[in-house]
Amino acid sequence: MVLENIISIFILRYLQKRLPDAEAYLKWHKILKVGMLLAVTFIILGYSPIGSRVLIHGLSLALVGLIIYGVFKVPEFNQAKTIAYAVLPYLGLSLVSEVIDIISPSFYESIETLLDTAGFFAFLWAVALWYLSRKQKKALELERQKSEEREKEYRLTEKIKAQLEKEVAQRTQDLVKKKEALEKALNELKATQDQLILSEKMASLGELTAGIAHEIQNPLNFVNNFSEVSNELIQELREELKKDHTQRDKENEADLMEDIAQNLEKITYHGKRAEAIVKSMLQHSRKDNGKREPTDINKLADEYLRLSYHGLRAKDKSFNADFKLELDENLPILEVVPQDLGRVLLNLINNAFYAASEKKKLLEDEGEGKDFKPTVVVTTSLEQKGVKITVRDNGNGIPEEVKTKVFQPFFTTKPAGAGTGLGLSMSYDIITKGHGGDLSVISKPGEYSEFIIHLRQD
């Protein structure tokens, strides 16, 4: 009898704990409290001598029955179903034994042991069910915790993701800014480079001027001299023609005529020579990138070797060097940019003369050099796939550690102000990028340097 009420209190307490504290549940809280008070009252009454034992047992059973009914009926209390299932067999058994005891006490006595055994099993049932429910609950709790953790993790990941996205956006913005800054710097560099290329062009034009002046002066002298002498010849011819025809020297007349004709040819030839020099000078100074055109490489090499020689000669009176042209007459006509290739040749030849005469100076400083003759040799030769041009000097050569740097922009071994350090790097660009060719150098320190241009025939 006590047990029924303890079950009641237990279930009520269980429900009370799980019932929310909200206003709407105030009624249910009151009802639960009343139920608990009733159960406690029944326990006390059960121990007191007052009242009928059967009545109190009946009331206790009614109370617990009502509670279980509520557990099944009221949705808020459904969670106590498991407890209800656990205690139902016991409560049923208790009701049945009470009813049997009332109806037939003798029969009750005869089956009392059986009822006790059943009571024990009902109790076991309750304990087992309780145990299982606990276990299930724990598993559920664990699952809930896990899912909660997963949720937490997910939320954390989301947070990190958002943070990362923000950072990526920031970085992207930074990078875009940097990219723009770099682009600006690049454009400025390009402009500076163009400016430098132009000033290098102008510098090499300056180097050329003296050579060009000399190269133009020579043919002009011939033009003047040959026209002058032709005038004299005509004068002589006139005098001859005035003579009586028996005294006329027909042979001399023919000679004079022949000379005059030859002189006119010479005048034309030297006039054209001067014109060609002026043209190539204009080409050389042209700002825009020239177009490729069929070019006689031998003629170009000859022209620039002379320009270089006379240029240096005009600039430095003490300069003197020997030069040789070894041209392969079988060269094909190549499609090149003549002023660009000319600039390369001029640069290489100027360097070669410089190197050879530097060696001469060095030897003279040591009191030697009487037998040393600075020499520059320019050769052209036909190759399987194109043309090879070499510029060789017998100067002091290029040390191994410098050889790798000679084509780098701004690298120069000349004293400050004597070279821009752009000549060879520009030459390299013109040959490789501009013409798809190849520019290389071989050297034996103390003996020679040789720059080799390979041009492909397309």
Q: Summarize as ranges the residues that interact with other proteins (CB under 8 A).
A: 214, 217-218, 220-222, 224-226, 228-229, 232-233, 236, 252, 259, 262-263, 266, 270, 309-310, 313-314, 317-318, 320-323
CA distance 135 to 128: 10
Nearer to other proteins, 225 or 285 (CB): 225
Nearer to other proteins, 218 or 457 (CB): 218
Nearer to other proteins, 170 or 221 (CB): 221
Cβ of residue 320: shortest distance to other proteins, in angstroms?
5
Cβ of residue 362: shortest distance to other proteins, in angstroms?
20
Tokens of 301: 């090499």
Query: What's the DSSP call for residue 337?
Result: -
Cβ of residue 383: shortest distance to other proteins, in angstroms?
27
Q: Which residue, 375, 336, 354, 358, is CA-closest to 453?
A: 336
DSSP track, 283-295: HHH--SPPPPEEE
Cβ of residue 450: shortest distance to other proteins, in angstroms?
20
Phi, psi values for residue 382, rounded to 5° = -80, 135
Query: What's the DSSP call for residue 248?
Result: -
Q: Which residue, 236, 296, 300, is CA-closest to 263?
A: 236
Question: Measured between alpha carbons, how far is residue 293 from residues 79, 147, 187, 338 in Å?
Answer: 99, 79, 31, 7
Cβ of residue 337: shortest distance to other proteins, in angstroms?
28
Quote the strand ranges of 217-347, DSSP E.
293-295, 322-326, 334-336
Nearer to other proteins, 270 or 388 (CB): 270
| Cβ partners under 8 Å of residue 237, min gap 6 | 253, 256, 257, 260
CA distance 94 to 1: 8
Nearer to other proteins, 239 or 400 (CB): 239
Cβ of residue 207: shortest distance to other proteins, in angstroms?
17
Nearer to other proteins, 143 or 228 (CB): 228
Cβ of residue 230: shortest distance to other proteins, in angstroms?
8
Task: Give, for 448, the enclosing helix (H) or strand (E).
Answer: strand 448-456
CA distance 428 to 439: 6
Question: Measured between alpha carbons, how far is residue 203 from residues 115, 207, 354, 405, 422 in Å?
Answer: 126, 6, 16, 22, 11
Cβ of residue 218: shortest distance to other proteins, in angstroms?
6
Nearer to other proteins, 97 or 357 (CB): 357
Nearer to other proteins, 217 or 408 (CB): 217
Nearer to other proteins, 304 or 309 (CB): 309
- Report the half-sphere exposure of 377 (CA within 13 A, side-chain side): 12
Cβ of residue 323: shortest distance to other proteins, in angstroms?
5
